[in-house]
Chain A
Amino acid sequence: MENEKVLISNSIRRLRFFAGEMTQQELADRTGVTRQTIVAIENGKYFPSLELAFRIAHTFIVPLSDLFIYYPENDPVLIKLKAKQTKKEKQ
């Protein structure tokens, strides 16, 4: 389990778009962090603390599960989904 690569993706970019193309600086100001931190989170380079994650979710008025999606690399459900997708693409 420890060696398993954990992947967490986020939908901040999409949520910013739906919030009237909110800028990264605006989101940073609202959540009390620097713009560079928002950039790092959006690019999946930095995983925020639970508090900051909640603050971002609160800004967009969405539950945390809409903001961050967690899946381990060897998740059987995801492997099945990916296989289905590849099959569809081939057809």
Chain B
Amino acid sequence: MGHQEKQSIVSIIGSVLVIGFYSLYVYRNYIQADLELLNDFQFWGKSFLYLIPVAIVVQIVIHIIFAIANRIITQEDLPDFTDERDKLIELKSIRISHWIFILGFMLAMGSLAMGMKPYIMFLTLISSGFLASLASEVAKIIYYRKGA
């Protein structure tokens, strides 16, 4: 297994951990105490805004730990550049993740159009963002195994 595939697996684990723990934290500390918060737009705005830096910091920390562990285990440094194949795979996986997010966005707007509660729209948006990032990493693993 190449280092790129390992990095994608690490990213998947990181994403699952971030979204899992963040959702649990928000549910236990806010939603459980006051279910009405689900209909509060300010609550959703803050939840989205806090999630972004948390996710970035956790991913950076996880990747640093991975780089150190990889160096110790394999005695090899991770390449500090991306070549043409990496860029091609990156583009292909981004295309897939964009399509998934667009589909999620359409579903989210559809839920509003059908008169569902706004929190369904926000949950669909978060879920599609999460699924899009997972799909991007899974696509990368598949493309790296396939060749490109």
Contact = CB atoms under 8 A, between A and B. Distances in A.
Interface string A23-67: 000000000111011001001111111001000000000000000
B122 to A, nearest CB: 40
B137 to A, nearest CB: 17
Interface string A69-89: 000000000000000000000
Contacts of A45: 146-148
Contacts of A52: 84
Main secondary structure of the interface of A (DSSP, over half): loop
Nearest to A52: B84
B20 to A, nearest CB: 31
A49 B84 contact: yes
6 closest A-B pairs (Cβ-Cβ)?
Answer: A45-B147, A33-B83, A46-B147, A36-B2, A46-B148, A37-B85
27 contacts: A32-B83, A33-B83, A33-B84, A34-B81, A34-B85, A34-B86, A36-B2, A36-B4, A36-B85, A36-B144, A37-B83, A37-B84, A37-B85, A37-B86, A40-B85, A40-B147, A44-B147, A45-B146, A45-B147, A45-B148, A46-B85, A46-B148, A47-B148, A48-B84, A48-B85, A49-B84, A52-B84
